Chain A
């Protein structure tokens, strides 16, 4: 169901428009009454100490978690009523790569391409772009953490989502893998995609138009 609503900041068709979002894990609050509006095409960085609620916020926007209270819309679709439409247009990239170890890099990407009805040519192109063509037919369990993350980034390239949600995507990566992630973010931003990134790196890249600071589940600044 497409629901165009005016956001707290007055955006008519915001990419992300959260209103009063609270998320509890048991009795412990991870997010408290968060209002957040992000324009289409905007790159926003989420900052805050560990446990501030950055990952929870990204996972709610990605519809991997539902808010305990409050709600909102993503890309014009209601979080509660049309999660599949949001999933069709967004991608969440975290340090967990969601790859199958016994499948090769190519098989992992082709599986998702097949499930999403994407042509295999795009898989080949993404593997080339991430400099994975030589190892594309090797099983992922033989890959280092950095190479796995590059495969996950290749999956993002294959999907080319409208909204890209990145949760510390470069954590623990070597320079080459970090550069690959950075280049993908820059390319996506140039192409007018909306990016929400929980990291400190993007600020240094000059990618972010806005920084939203979270602390103890509250938005401290930048909403």
Chain B
């Protein structure tokens, strides 16, 4: 059985659990919406200011949601010792990493659609080049999911995993946040040629963390 087939089985399982558990709908969307509305109140009613900070708020909401989604992906594994079951299954452990990263990416992209609509309505964000914006979110979501899936298994072994996980993940995904905000800002302004370099940074980040995950996940999963 190929790595891709095993990863697909893990991703399908994770997505099925998420759909049935309604975690994304019940937790992530309300959380992201609350973050946006709270920041909106904090910045006040000035339309110019809100338009300027909208890309940053959008990515902050996605970032915090990515942390929650990645933690959730491992909570379901730890509920009844299922993660040990995956460890003891004679499969390529990289498939577990890739499957989880893919499932979290899909969840984040579904969330982005809702969050983006909210930002357009609440902060009057106009998007001159939606295709570049889409590319930024796809690449950004992959990067966030890769880091979250990699360090989720590290945090799983920590007694204070709820605190440890964001401390591990948030500093590492700073490049995604910076590149994502800049790409969104430039795509909204229609400065397409300038967006590409930030998309390149996001793509490089994805390649690095997906490669690291494939190489080291098996070792991290072992005791």
Residues of chain A touching chain B, judged by Cβ–Cβ distance below 8 Å, are 62-66, 84-85, 87-88, 91-92, 94, 96-103, 107, 111-112, 114-117, 139, 148
Check if A100 sits within 8 Å of B88, measured CB to CB.
Answer: no
Q: How far is the CB of A143 from chain B (nearest CB, A)?
A: 11
State whether B13 touches A103 (Cβ < 8 A): yes
Q: Quick one: closest A residue to B85, CB to CB?
A: A98
Q: Which of A101, A111, A139, A148 is within 8 Å of B9, CB to CB?
A: A111
Closest Cβ–Cβ distance, residue A161 to chain B (whole Å): 10
Q: Which residue of B80, B90, B223 is within 8 Å of A84 (Cβ)? A: B90
Q: Which of B16-24, B57-65, B101-109 contacts A (4 or more CB under 8 A)?
A: B16-24
B194 at the A interface (CB under 8 A)? no
Indicate if the CB atoms of A102 and B84 lie closer than 8 Å: no
A87-B89, A111-B9 are contacts. A102–B80 as well, Cβ < 8 Å?
A: no
| Chain B contact surface mostly | helix
The answer to whether residues A97 and B17 also contact, given A115-B6, A115-B91 and a CB cut-off of 8 A, is no
User: Given the complex of chains A and B, what is the CA–CA distance between A103 and B80 in angstroms?
Assistant: 13
Interface positions, chain B 86-144, Cβ under 8 Å from A, are 87-91
Does B220 lie at the interface of the complex (its beta carbon under 8 Å from any beta carbon of A)?
no
> If the complex has contacts A64-B87, A115-B6, A115-B9, are A99 and B80 also in contact, measured as CB distance less than 8 A?
yes
Contact across chains for A102 and B21 when beta carbons are under 8 A apart: yes
A102 with B82: CB separation less than 8 A? no
Cross-chain contact A103 with B90 (CB below 8 angstroms)? no
Complex: A10 Cα to B33 Cα, angstroms: 68
By beta carbon, the residue of chain B nearest A117 is: B1
Q: Are B16 and A107 in contact (CB under 8 A)?
A: yes
Question: Does A101 contact B80, Cβ atoms closer than 8 Å?
Answer: yes
Residues of the B chain whose Cβ atoms lie less than 8 Å from the Cβ of A85: 90
Are A66 and B223 closer than 8 Å at their CB atoms?
Answer: yes
6 pairs from A and B in contact (CB 8 Å cutoff): A64-B84, A92-B88, A102-B21, A115-B89, A116-B89, A148-B80
Beta-carbon nearest neighbor of B87 in chain A: A64
* Residues of chain B lying within 8 A (CB to CB) of residue A112: 85, 89
Q: Could you tell me if B80 and A96 are in contact, using CB atoms closer than 8 angstroms?
A: yes
Complex-state Cα separation, A139 to B16, whole angstroms: 12
Which of A62, A66, A88, A101 contacts B79 (CB under 8 A)? A101
